[in-house]
Amino acid sequence: MGRGRSAGKRIAGSGASPGRRDNAGGTLPVGFLAGDGFIFPVVLVLLLFLVLLARAKPRENENDKENENEYFPEAIMRPLQLGLNRLRAVTKKPWDAGGGRRKFCRPGAPADDAGGMNNSNLRPRLRLLATGGTIAGAQTSGDGRGYTAGAFSIADLVAAVPQIAALAELTVEQVARIGSQDMNEAVWRQLAGRAQAALDDPGIAGVVITHGTDTMEETGYFLNLVLKTAKPVVLVGAMRPATAISADGPMNLYNAVAVAAAPESAGRGVLVVANDEIHFAREVAKTNTTQVGTFKSPNRGLAGLIHSGRLHYFGPTVRRHTAASEFAPLAAGGLPRVDIVYAHAGMGRELIDAAVSAGARGVVIAGVGDGNMPAAALAACTAAARAGVAVVRSSRTGGGLVERNIEVDDDAAGFVSAEELNPQKARVLLMLGLARTREAGALQELFRVY
Ligand code: ASP
């Protein structure tokens, strides 16, 4: 570098000037490596390199090994060949937007990672709370049937649907990692607490919760009653594990984010999104063991439809919920025990007596037909009600109303009718209601209002 620039110039192209001998016996100009002329190419190469680094797409998160391995060599090599003018064109890949080369199945990501969301503040900010379920499930058996729910983290799921980044800015939190058959009051409380904290944040527009489908209707209805908010709250699950052929999780998750991000979703209570449908948490029920169209809202129908992120609402929900609910925000302290007893031909009184002996403060009968039960069971329920245990008559049919005083004299027995609530939802409302009152008339009023 100590040599003058003129020396480099002078030497270049001159066999008589001092220079290094190349292997072929020719002379390389000194300035190329060591003279002043060295500065220009070095600066140029450095500048090129910096421009490339600035333009190269960074890894979106720890899991993005595919992009990491392919992008940098391409970003560096192509512009060197084609020139800076073409850099923009050659560094874009179709799957940047489409995600077609990603899989919905990479376990082991950090649970608290935002999964590659970027930071444009033009999009609504949503909190995504994860609890596990089949949407996060990984197949375990060779034939593809067996699987473990909740095997993937929420970061895995979000990273697998990069299109979500266009809808909302997400922050994610892994609240639990269970199959929803293991959902219980402790997790409900934790979930409600985390959701309420997010909803109370003025910077958060809504909450999405990933959840197993088995008990989603119970969690959804519980949150519908205990969250104090008008912001959108959306539960989403899947019937096929994340590793399955034609997994339904990615589209369901995308649609759930779209629903939560939409201002028109506000004030509708907690919603459930699956299979291109939007359901009110109060109405929805799981009706099929394995099929993707499992969710139905048998009495009042769908809240709306969603197709690839585009929403179509049919109408508002009719019963009290969320911001207007007397159970919101959720009070501290445990809820009373409520058991469900399934009625059938030939049913005796034993299971009802057993529930009362076990300490149930309420019993919901999944009655035959219009909330009916055999005489022996009816006698046990009447005795329980006299002893101060709340008895709610619901139906195992999956649809319709259980009204008061049709074939059973509810007034005389001191029973409550569940109206449209199926047994599992009647249990949720009864638990919350019993935390406030044991009086049958007051409890019946809750079933009329909620
Ligand atoms: N057992 C699973 C669960 O509820 C089923 C599902 O998610 O679809 O977690």
Report how far residue 294's alpha carbon sits from residue 57's, in angstroms, rounded to the nearest whole number. Answer: 40
Report how far residue 349's alpha carbon sits from residue 378's, in angstroms, rounded to the nearest whole number. Answer: 8
Residue 115 lies in a domain: no
In this structure, the answer to whether residues 312 and 358 fall within a common structural domain is no
Atom 7 of ligand 1, nearest CA residue:
212
In this structure, the answer to whether residues 188 and 56 fall within a common structural domain is no
Residue 267 lies in a domain: yes
For residue 20, the enclosing domain spans 5-98
Q: Which amino acid type is present at position 54? A: A
pLDDT tens-place string over residues 195-247: 999 999 999 999 999 999 999 999 999 999 999 999 999 999 999 999 999 99
Residue 211 lies in a domain: yes
Helices marked H in 23-64: 30-33, 39-55
Q: Which of 40-44, 282-286, 338-342 has the lowest mean pLDDT?
A: 40-44
Q: Residue count of the chain, please give it.
A: 450
Ligand 1 centre distance from Cα of residue 216 (Å)? 9
Report how far residue 329's alpha carbon sits from residue 127's, in angstroms, rounded to the nearest whole number. Answer: 18
Mutation test of ligand 1: which of 181, 214, 239, 292 has the most ligand atoms closer than 8 Å to its C-beta? 214
Two structure tokens written together for 447? 């079933």
Residue 246 lies in a domain: yes
Ligand 1 in reach of 243 Cβ (< 6 A):
no
Ligand 1 centre distance from Cα of residue 288 (Å)? 12
In this structure, the answer to whether residues 44 and 169 fall within a common structural domain is no
In this structure, the answer to whether residues 291 and 368 fall within a common structural domain is no
Ligand 1 in reach of 213 Cβ (< 6 A):
yes
pLDDT, position 40: 59
Query: Over 90: is that where the pLDDT of 141 sits?
Result: no
pLDDT, position 37: 52
Confidence of residue 142 (pLDDT cuts 50, 70, 90): confident
Mutation test of ligand 1: which of 148, 157, 181, 284 has the most ligand atoms closer than 8 Å to its C-beta? 181
Name the active-site residue from 27, 91, 131, 134. Answer: 134
pLDDT, position 4: 34
Angle subtended at Cα 83 by Cα 77 and Cα 89, rounded to the nearest 5 degrees: 80
Ligand 1 centre distance from Cα of residue 414 (Å)? 37
Query: Over 70: is that where the pLDDT of 101 sits?
Result: no
Residue 111 lies in a domain: no
In this structure, the answer to whether residues 372 and 311 fall within a common structural domain is no
Query: Over 80: is that where the pLDDT of 397 sits?
Result: yes
CB 271 within 8 A of CB 264: no
In this structure, the answer to whether residues 92 and 135 fall within a common structural domain is no
Query: Over 60: is that where the pLDDT of 432 sits?
Result: yes
Cis peptide before 329 (omega within 30 of 0): yes
Confidence of residue 17 (pLDDT cuts 50, 70, 90): very low
Residues 206-243 as b/e (b if ≥16 CB within 10 A, e otherwise) read bbbbbbbbbbbbbbbbbbbbbbebebbbbbbbbbbbbb
Two structure tokens written together for 359? 């300490």
In this structure, the answer to whether residues 149 and 278 fall within a common structural domain is yes
Three-state DSSP at 28 gives: strand
Please give the tally of structural domains in the chain. 3
Residue at which a domain ends, from 98, 116, 149: 98
Residue 136 lies in a domain: yes
Q: Which of 90-94, 174-178, 248-252 has the lowest mean pLDDT?
A: 90-94
Query: Over 60: is that where the pLDDT of 80 sits?
Result: no
Residues 6+ apart with CB under 8 A from 25: none
Ligand 1 in reach of 133 Cβ (< 6 A):
yes
pLDDT, position 55: 54
In this structure, the answer to whether residues 70 and 148 fall within a common structural domain is no
In this structure, the answer to whether residues 94 and 206 fall within a common structural domain is no
What integer is the mean pLDDT of 376-391?
98
Whole-number CA gyration radius for the chain: 31
pLDDT, position 143: 79
pLDDT, position 53: 54
Ligand 1 in reach of 151 Cβ (< 6 A):
no
Please indicate whether residue 317 is annotated as part of the active site.
no
Query: Over 50: is that where the pLDDT of 21 sits?
Result: no
pLDDT tens-place string over residues 291-324: 999 999 999 999 999 999 999 999 999 999 999 9
Which CATH number do you get for residue 312? Answer: 3.40.50.1170
Report how far residue 346's alpha carbon sits from residue 407's, in angstroms, rounded to the nearest whole number. Answer: 18
Residue 118 lies in a domain: no
Closest CA to 379 of 404, 409, 402: 409
Ligand 1 in reach of 274 Cβ (< 6 A):
no
Ligand 1 centre distance from Cα of residue 212 (Å)? 4
Ligand 1 in reach of 269 Cβ (< 6 A):
no
In this structure, the answer to whether residues 199 and 288 fall within a common structural domain is yes
Confidence of residue 122 (pLDDT cuts 50, 70, 90): confident
Which CATH number do you get for residue 346? Answer: 3.40.50.40
Residues 6+ apart with CB under 8 A from 182: none
In this structure, the answer to whether residues 241 and 384 fall within a common structural domain is no
Mean pLDDT across the chain: 82
Query: Over 90: is that where the pLDDT of 7 sits?
Result: no
What integer is the mean pLDDT of 363-388?
98
pLDDT tens-place string over residues 239-295: 999 999 999 999 999 999 999 999 999 999 999 999 999 999 999 999 999 999 999
Ligand 1 centre distance from Cα of residue 106 (Å)? 19
pLDDT, position 5: 35
What integer is the mean pLDDT of 42-60?
57
In this structure, the answer to whether residues 306 and 193 fall within a common structural domain is yes
Residue 104 lies in a domain: no
